[in-house]
């Protein structure tokens, strides 16, 4: 008799499966353009200088220990994290309208948002995701029991935003649906709405009273500027453009390079008016969810980020580190495009430099991607998304030549 009726083995996760194949590949000139993690110009993981300094400061502090955090998380971290995303002068913060809870990075924040909404949201329980989107979005919300739908985002012909399709789905979706928006550096396309396009999108969302769920996993990676990358969120909240609740899922995995430490937060802004009772109720429910799932959030990463954010010099160093990362990636975009142009590789490659953040949606077909892996030892996901952070001065020519070969094959 089986105690696990109907259980079947699943294929490996596409991204982590890709990583495993890359690790198993014995070619010395292999290239990993798969996972979205920053690499330096030698292709090595990079501990941000701000993080190194914060670690030294933290461990030498007489208060340093490994005690449990409270259920809400590390308060000095939460306070600063909310300012990073909402702005130093946020009226919502000043008016105490923001309910914050530390989470297991961005994924944990999305999960907690889903659990909260599943239980209490009175609107339409369908989550609209951009097409395409980060693969895990689908899984996070369906596993909680949500219906998932999509809104057009990427126009493959023009390699630009399908604004018409996006707006039209906002208009036709049942009122009060949940719309998940990538706050910046859209994964996988690297394509963000312009400020004017954001205004149109948010206006239509408000007209249908949809709930806006911002996923902010790359703040600082699009422009190198934390404030600019929070434009859509701050416009929606500061201008009170959105009257329905707003939820922000904030990750520090990428912008502080603390991938494995799982540093993040969920911020809920339930109303444009102050409602203390609702705020307290939400806080207590978020606490209950966290308590039942992880008891209390992990401390180390939150303390590092808090050390950075609460120290003027370290904060400046972090902002410089963000520029180091985003500008190196941008340089690689320019280089790759230049090389492909010089090779007269069939197709247009302007989109590589027009896209922002860590990724480029190259437009390469699944067959081309498979050939890149098999023949050239270059690994990227089958959608054609390449993590530009995996390029460096030592491999970009090889990658350009290989792309040229597979496109012509
Ligand atoms: N949202 C998006 C769009 C992402 O790309 C990622 C990471 N790849 C996340 C959320 C979550 O990342 P993490 O859980 O590592 O913070």
pLDDT tens digits for range 115-161 = 999 999 999 999 999 999 998 999 999 999 999 999 999 998 888 99
Query: Is 134 annotated in the active site?
Result: yes
Length of the chain: 409
Average pLDDT for residues 153-175, to the nearest whole number? 95
Centroid of ligand 1 to alpha carbon of 222 (angstroms): 15
- Decide whether any atom of ligand 1 lies within 6 Å of the 215 Cβ: yes
pLDDT in tens, 235-285: 999 999 999 999 999 999 999 999 999 999 999 999 999 899 999 999 999
Give the mean model confidence (pLDDT) for residues 193-210.
Answer: 98
Probe target for ligand 1 pocket from 104, 132, 134, with the most ligand atoms within 8 Å of CB:
134
Q: Residue 167: name the closest of 191, 203, 212, 194 by CA.
A: 203
Domains, in order of start, for the chain: 14-46+326-408 (3.90.1150.10), 68-310 (3.40.640.10)
- Span from the CA of 229 to the centroid of ligand 1 (angstroms): 16
Cβ atoms within 10 Å of 158's Cβ, excluding its own: 9
Band (pLDDT 50/70/90 cuts) for residue 346 is very high
Once rounded to an integer, what is the mean pLDDT over residues 213-228?
A: 95
CB atoms within 10 A of CB 319: 16
* Helical residues (DSSP H) of 33-162, grouped into ranges: 49-59, 75-86, 91-94, 105-120, 135-144
User: pLDDT tens-digit profile of 77-99?
Assistant: 999 999 999 999 999 999 999 99
Residue 341 tokens, joined: 């142009």
Specify the pLDDT at position 144: 96
Q: Which atom of ligand 1 is nearest to the CA of 104?
A: 14
CA dist 347 and 274 (Å) reads 53
| Percent of the chain predicted with pLDDT > 70 | 100
- Kindly indicate the confidence band of residue 35, based on its pLDDT and cuts at 50, 70 and 90: confident
Is the ipTM value over 0.95, yes or no? yes
pTM exceeding 0.80: yes
Distances from the Cα of 362 to the Cαs of 53, 349, 359, 366, in angstroms?
37, 8, 9, 11
Token reading at 87: 């702005």
Give residue 158's pLDDT.
86
What tokens were used for 125?
Answer: 């329980």
Token look-up 């991607």 returns 369
- pLDDT at residue 15, rounded to an integer: 87
The reported pLDDT for the residue numbered 62 is 95
Say what the pLDDT of residue 212 is.
98
In this predicted structure, the answer to whether residue 223 has a pLDDT above a threshold of 80 is: yes
Q: How far is CA 393 from the centre of its chain?
A: 26
Half-sphere exposure of 381 (CA within 13 A, CB side): 23
Query: What value does the mean pLDDT of the chain take?
Result: 96
Angle at 361 between CA 26 and CA 150, to 5 degrees: 120
Q: Is the pLDDT of residue 13 over 90?
A: no
Condensed to tens digits (0 to 9), the pLDDT of residues 282-310 reads 999 999 999 999 999 999 999 999 999 99
Instruction: Report d(CA 142, CA 118) in Å as an integer.
Output: 11
Q: Residue 353: pLDDT band by 50, 70, 90 thresholds? A: very high
Question: Cβ(229)–Cβ(185) under 8 Å?
Answer: yes
Q: Is any ligand 1 atom within 6 A of the Cβ of residue 107?
A: yes
Cα 276 to ligand 1 centre (Å): 31
Cα angle at 374 between 394 and 15, to 5 degrees?
80
User: Per-residue pLDDT for 1 more than 80?
Assistant: no
For residue 134, the ligand 1 atom closest to its alpha carbon is 3
């Amino acid at each position: 008799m089986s105690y696990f009726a109907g259980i079947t083995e699943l294929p490996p996760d596409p991204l982590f499966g890709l990583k495993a194949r890359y690790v198993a590949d014995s070619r010395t000139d292999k290239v990993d353009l798969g996972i979205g993690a920053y690499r330096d110009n030698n292709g090595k993981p990079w501990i941000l200088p701000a993080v190194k300094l914060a670690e030294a400061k933290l461990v030498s502090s007489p208060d340093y220990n490994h005690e449990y955090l409270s259920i809400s998380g590390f308060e000095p971290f939460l306070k600063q994290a909310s300012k990073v995303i909402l702005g130093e002068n946020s009226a919502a913060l000043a008016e105490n309208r923001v309910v914050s809870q530390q989470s297991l990075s961005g994924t944990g924040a999305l999960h907690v948002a889903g659990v909260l909404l599943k239980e209490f949201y009175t609107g339409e329980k369908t989550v609209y995701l951009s097409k395409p989107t980060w693969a895990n979005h689908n899984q996070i919300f369906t596993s909680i029991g949500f219906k998932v739908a999509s809104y057009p985002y990427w126009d493959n012909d023009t390699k630009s935003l399908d604004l018409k399709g996006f707006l039209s789905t906002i208009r036709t979706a049942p009122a009060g649906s949940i719309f998940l928006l990538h706050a910046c550096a859209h994964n996988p396309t690297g394509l963000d709405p312009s400020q004017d396009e954001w205004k149109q999108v948010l206006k239509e969302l408000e007209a249908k009273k949809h709930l806006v769920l911002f996923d902010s996993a790359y703040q600082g990676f699009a422009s190198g500027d934390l404030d600019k990358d929070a434009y859509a969120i701050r416009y929606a909240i500061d201008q009170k453009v959105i009257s329905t609740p707003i939820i922000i899922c904030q990750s520090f995995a990428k912008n502080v390079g603390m991938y494995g430490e799982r540093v993040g937060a969920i911020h809920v802004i339930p109303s444009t008016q102050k409602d203390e009772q609702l705020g307290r109720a939400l806080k207590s429910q978020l606490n209950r969810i966290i308590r039942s799932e992880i008891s209390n959030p992990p401390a180390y990463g939150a303390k590092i980020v808090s050390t950075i954010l609460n120290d003027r010099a370290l904060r400046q160093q972090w902002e410089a580190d963000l520029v180091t990362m985003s500008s190196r990636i941008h340089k690689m975009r320019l280089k790759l495009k230049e090389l492909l142009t010089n090779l007269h590789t069939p197709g247009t490659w302007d989109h590589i430099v027009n896209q922002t953040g860590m990724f480029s949606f190259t437009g390469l077909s699944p067959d081309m991607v498979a050939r890149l892996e098999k023949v050239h030892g270059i690994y990227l996901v089958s959608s054609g998304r390449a993590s530009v952070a995996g390029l460096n001065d030592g491999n970009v020519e090889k990658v350009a030549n290989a792309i040229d070969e597979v496109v012509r094959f």
